[in-house]
Amino acid sequence: MAAKAVAGAVRTTLGPKGMDKMLVDTVGDVVITNDGVTILKEMDIEHPAAKMMVEIAKTQDQEVGDGTTTAVVLAGELLKQAEELLEQEIHPTVIAAGYRAAAEKSLEILRALAVSVSAENEELLRKIAVTAMTGKGSQSSRDELAVMAVKAVRSVADEDGTVDTGNITVEKKVGGGIADSLLVSGVVLDKDRLHPNMPKSVRDARIALLNAALEIEKTEVDAKIQITSPDQLQAFLDQEETMLRDMVNRVAASGANVLFVQKGIDDLAAHFLAKAGLYTARRVKKSDMEKLARATGARIITTIHEISRDDLGKAGLVEERKVSDDKMTFVEECDNPKSVSIILRGGTDHVVDELDRAMEDALRVVGVALEDRMLVPGGGAPEVELALRLRAFASTVGGREQLAIEAFADAMEIIPKTLAENAGLDQIDSLVALRSNHEQGMKGAGLDMDTGKAMDMLKLGVVEPLRVKTQAINSAAEVAIMILRIDDVIASRSGPRGAGGMPGGMGGMGQEDFD
């Protein structure tokens, strides 16, 4: 019941016509979203079985980035179907075995149904991004955002085909409209220049990345310096100044005209850097330093004494710009940037946050599609095809397991049913039309949300990466089986335990004591 309740809570958010949820915390902060994993993470859930449903959504989000609601709704429906079988006195182990067989067969059917996509097919990749964004608050500008997402992912893809979307920086800024969002072929840092006398923009930038402080180092041991005359004090201060000047001269001598430092910079060193005409930013995050290295080709150096011309990276332009109320540093026009940035704009915080979630989903699914090079139609088409083929498969299995496989097939149809319901269409009519099309061999027939008719989803461009579906079905089946196999919830003793997980003082018992 608890697991089904969680699935019921997110069911209305499924699909392009799904409704949003307003989540209000104890402080009164509001989140408005229809992103399944965000809703489940924010929900205050106590029941242990319900928490397992949240885990499905989290795993789906980590693995693929989209399809979180689908996975949870499927798991909920599998449990509902299992409940009916339990009432017919079919043992949970038999149901679990049938579900496992059905899940394996489903993956096999999906792979046969999948269509290949190449990295060069920008149009198809864009459609994948649009499908992921549909219904996520970015409706009006989803085409422009999808183009950005595809360009960004293709830029950061490595030669071996792997895509780490962590190399794409997404910055959210309130102000302007969604259409003002932009893709920067380089890195955008939430930092301004260190000194007002430094140049505001640098063309043909030669960039040094330093993971060390431009300060006089404090000694590791406690040391005292005794100064007995003003001359000695002046000499001491002059020496500090000379050392800082020498550090700045080393940077300038390497040919660098832009410097990013991960640690601190002394105020006096900042003055010398400004005099030398170097654009400088300090306390840049480690992750941003790595992105800068990927974008510009610079090497991160850990000591100022080692700096040379070979360590420098290149960018066409480094400039400080004001975005909304914040000053930011743009490092752009890089030759072959393996790290890029997207700035998302929107009228309110809620709009920008939801836009960020939509963009995150789009980036992840395009990345997955580039890695696997396989996609399936959307709109409930794979689920109807699975239901049809699993029913045929069930008749070859026989026995009580057959009933469990048929229940699994029935559970698959919850996705097209929910899509129809959320779009204000008749569930039964929509499902009958889809079944009829699939029985006639139209494997890509799914529900067109605008007309309410069964259409070929591949022609409509409603497509998803294969991994979104395989992961959702796998996770849903595994969790349903796990919950089915639990026959009792027992409150465990908290507190310290002895060896072997036994209560304290009973840790010495070996296996033979229980035989």
Amino acid identity, residue 319?
A: E
SS3 344: strand
SS3 15: coil
Mean pLDDT throughout 162-182?
Answer: 82
pLDDT band at 496 (very low <50, low <70, confident <90, very high): low
Is 0.85 topped by the overall pTM? no
Find all residues with CB under 8 Å of 338, minimum gap 6, and list them: 155, 156, 158, 167, 294, 295
SS3 105: helix
Catalytic residue (one of 13, 20, 33, 35): 35
H or E element, residue 267? helix 267-275
What Å distances lie between residue 244 and 236, 241, 291, 304, CA to CA? Answer: 13, 5, 28, 11
Annotation marks residue 61 as catalytic:
no
Give, in degrees to the nearest 5, the angle at Cα 375 between 18 and 451.
40
Annotation marks residue 165 as catalytic:
no
> Residue 249's CB: how many other CB atoms inside 10 A?
12
pLDDT band at 500 (very low <50, low <70, confident <90, very high): very low
Residue 503 per-residue DSSP state: B
Mean pLDDT throughout 92-107?
Answer: 92
Q: Is the pLDDT of residue 507 over 50?
A: no
- pLDDT tens readout for residues 341-394: 888 888 888 888 888 888 888 888 888 888 888 888 888 889 999 999 999 999
SS3 285: coil
SS3 386: helix
CATH of span 187-336: 3.50.7.10
Annotation marks residue 68 as catalytic:
yes
Residue 180 per-residue DSSP state: G
Percent of the chain at pLDDT exceeding 70: 94
- pLDDT tens readout for residues 118-152: 878 888 888 888 888 876 665 667 788 888 888 88
Distance CA 404, CA 20 (A): 34
Residue among 501, 458, 209, 238 at smallest CA distance from 339: 209
Q: What is the pLDDT of residue 407?
A: 93
Amino acid identity, residue 490?
A: I
Mean pLDDT of the chain: 83
> Residue 170's CB: how many other CB atoms inside 10 A?
17
- pLDDT tens readout for residues 396-425: 887 888 999 999 999 999 998 998 888 888
Q: Is the pLDDT of residue 167 over 50?
A: yes
pLDDT band at 33 (very low <50, low <70, confident <90, very high): confident
Mean pLDDT throughout 249-255?
Answer: 86
Catalytic residue (one of 70, 361, 418, 470): 361
Distance CA 64, CA 69 (A): 12
Q: What is the pLDDT of residue 491?
A: 80
Q: What is the pLDDT of residue 78?
A: 92
CA 296 to chain centre: 24
Distance CA 284, CA 189 (A): 8
Determine the topology of domain 2-116+376-484 in CATH: GROEL; domain 1 (1.10.560)
Q: What is the pLDDT of residue 511?
A: 43
Catalytic residue (one of 33, 68, 70, 165): 68
More confident residue, 509 or 236: 236
Residue among 476, 510, 373 at smallest CA distance from 7: 476
Catalytic residue (one of 13, 33, 69, 131): 69
Mean pLDDT throughout 254-274?
Answer: 87
Annotation marks residue 35 as catalytic:
yes
Task: Assess contact for 418 and 74: CB atoms under 8 A.
Answer: no
H or E element, residue 89? none
Q: What is the pLDDT of residue 477?
A: 92
pLDDT band at 106 (very low <50, low <70, confident <90, very high): very high
At 485, give phi and psi (nearest 5°): -80, -10
Spell out the domain ranges in the chain. 2-116+376-484, 187-336
Q: What is the pLDDT of residue 100?
A: 92
